[in-house]
Amino acid sequence: MNRYFTWLLLLGIVFAVNVKQKVKKNFTVSGIVQNNAGEKIKKVKLTIINEEGKKIESGKSKGGGEFKFKKIRAGSYTLMGEHKKEGSGDVRFTLNTTDVELTLKISDGETSNTLSQTNSETEITDQRVILPQQRQKPAKPKLKFEDLFFEYESNLKALETEMDSLKRVVKGYQKGQTMPNVSRELLDLIKVPTFQHQVELQNGTVVAGDILEESDSTLTLKTQIGTLVLKKEMVVRMDELKKPGPKVILLGDPFIDYYPDRQIFSGQVKNVGEIRADFVRIIGNLFDQTTSITGIDSIFVKGTRIVYESNVVADTALEPGQTAPYTLTIPITKGRKAEYHTMDIHWEETK
């Protein structure tokens, strides 16, 4: 019986110790805040953060620089302090089995903080930060006002020699120049102004140019020598200049053969212009009552055979005054009816 009672007593003691250790989960962190001179600082803003950088508690030091934080769980933390005038500092500590009392030293950055912890498990380190010294850059040399970039006196003779050499080259170049040969292709590229009007004055003068502006009393004419303003009372006659060119016309109305599915036009054309007309083509159009096209076709006339500069050979040209017959068949769209027609003549002007 006594043996069983002894075992029960031992189990009770072990259970009480375990309960006491489990109950001790929160700790108290206290201490003081000092500056470099060892003076205790009050109203220092204090913050406790964990290893993840999360804020756990915050507060301020009281009179005598004392502070106290309760109910802090076990773990590793950093106590950070900041004062507007004295500066800032921090200290690391660990809570495991007992409360912790710290001494936080803050400074304005000129010296490092000396951190202490009474707990034997906390290491107190004195860290001194040494800023790297910057190398001073040498001053850039400046050119004085009386100094020169180069000695011009020693280079004057060299410059004179080069100028004399250039003069000899220019004289030789001018002496060797001759009148260039101007080809026909180059002359064709030169644009000669073409004027649209010819004005005859009372004194017999004939002026060619373009009319820019015309009013009741004056006439502004652009000529080859400039812009002239002429009084209309001095103008005897004003004609429009026409540039020589080909002009192909129909000689009378065409003869038409009517069929249900087509119309055949025949007749003659003539070049009444002063220049040859190339690739003369007759174009016919058929329309119904709603002006919709019911048929269209074209044909080249048979004229003079010409070999062009592009090595193209064709017999569709008309010389000035030349006539040529044509026969044009225009099919009518199925299901449509042609009511009237139009005839057009196209040509080209080539060399």
Instruction: Give the mean model confidence (pLDDT) for residues 65-90.
Output: 88
Dihedral of the CA atoms 171, 173, 179, 184 (nearest 10)? -150
- H/E/C letters for each residue in 232-248? HHHEEEEEECCCCCCCE
Phi and psi (nearest 5°) for 8? -65, -40
Please give the distance of CA 294 from its chain centroid, rounded to a whole number.
Answer: 52
Residue with the larger pLDDT of the pair 225 and 76: 76
Does residue 223 contact residue 190 with C-beta atoms inside 8 Å? no
**pLDDT at position 294, please?**
93
Q: Going by C-beta distance under 8 Å and a sequence separation of 6 or more, which residues neighbour residue 6?
A: none
> How many domains are there within the chain?
3
**pLDDT at position 153, please?**
59
The last residue of one of the domains, among 183, 215, 240, is 240
- Residue 2 identity: N
**pLDDT at position 303, please?**
92
The last residue of one of the domains, among 240, 266, 301, is 240
Cβ neighbours around 324 below 10 Å, total: 21
**pLDDT at position 326, please?**
94
Q: 207 and 297, same structural domain?
A: no
Q: 301 and 227, same structural domain?
A: no
Is the per-residue pLDDT at 221 higher than 80? yes
Q: Is residue 157 part of a domain?
A: no
pLDDT, one tens digit per residue, over 119-178 is 434 444 444 455 666 667 777 777 666 565 555 555 677 778 888 888 877 776 666 555
Calpha distance 351→3 (Å, rounded): 140
Residue with the larger pLDDT of the pair 66 and 172: 66
Q: Is residue 44 part of a domain?
A: yes
Q: 104 and 20, same structural domain?
A: yes
Given pLDDT bands bounded at 50, 70 and 90, which one contains residue 7?
A: low
Instruction: Give the mean model confidence (pLDDT) for residues 275-287.
Output: 93
**pLDDT at position 98, please?**
87
Q: Can you name the residues that pair with 286 across neighbouring β-strands? A: 295, 341
Q: 88 and 16, same structural domain?
A: yes
Q: Which of 107, 93, 85 lies closest to 57 in space, CA to CA?
A: 93
Given pLDDT bands bounded at 50, 70 and 90, which one contains residue 97?
A: confident
Q: Given the structure tokens 């070049």, which residue do they identify?
A: 271
Q: Given the structure tokens 């380190």, which residue do they identify?
A: 125
Given pLDDT bands bounded at 50, 70 and 90, which one contains residue 2?
A: low
Residue with the larger pLDDT of the pair 208 and 269: 269
Given pLDDT bands bounded at 50, 70 and 90, which one contains residue 268?
A: very high
Q: For residue 243, give Cα distances in angstroms to 77, 179, 197, 274, 275.
A: 103, 33, 11, 10, 10
- H/E/C letters for each residue in 54-110? CEEEEEECCHHHEEEEEEEECEEEEEEEEECCCEEEEEEEEECCCCEEEEEECECCC
Residue 204: which domain range? 194-240
What is the Cα Rg of the chain in Å?
57
The mean-pLDDT minimum among 16-30, 64-78, 81-95, 252-266 falls in 16-30
pLDDT, one tens digit per residue, over 174-220 is 665 555 566 666 656 666 566 678 888 888 888 888 888 888 888 88
Given pLDDT bands bounded at 50, 70 and 90, which one contains residue 95?
A: confident
**pLDDT at position 188, please?**
64
Given pLDDT bands bounded at 50, 70 and 90, which one contains residue 343?
A: very high
Instruction: Give the mean model confidence (pLDDT) for residues 31-49.
Output: 87
**Which CATH number belongs to the domain containing residue 9 in this structure?**
2.60.40.10
Does residue 329 contact residue 297 with C-beta atoms inside 8 Å? yes
Q: 43 and 14, same structural domain?
A: yes
Q: 290 and 231, same structural domain?
A: no
Q: What is the largest CA-CA distance in the chain?
A: 164
The last residue of one of the domains, among 240, 257, 276, is 240
The mean-pLDDT minimum among 95-109, 254-268, 272-286, 300-314 falls in 95-109
Is the per-residue pLDDT at 80 higher than 50? yes
Q: 34 and 90, same structural domain?
A: yes
Instruction: Give the mean model confidence (pLDDT) for residues 95-109.
Output: 84
Q: Is residue 150 part of a domain?
A: no
Does residue 301 contact residue 317 with C-beta atoms inside 8 Å? no
**Average pLDDT value for the chain:** 80
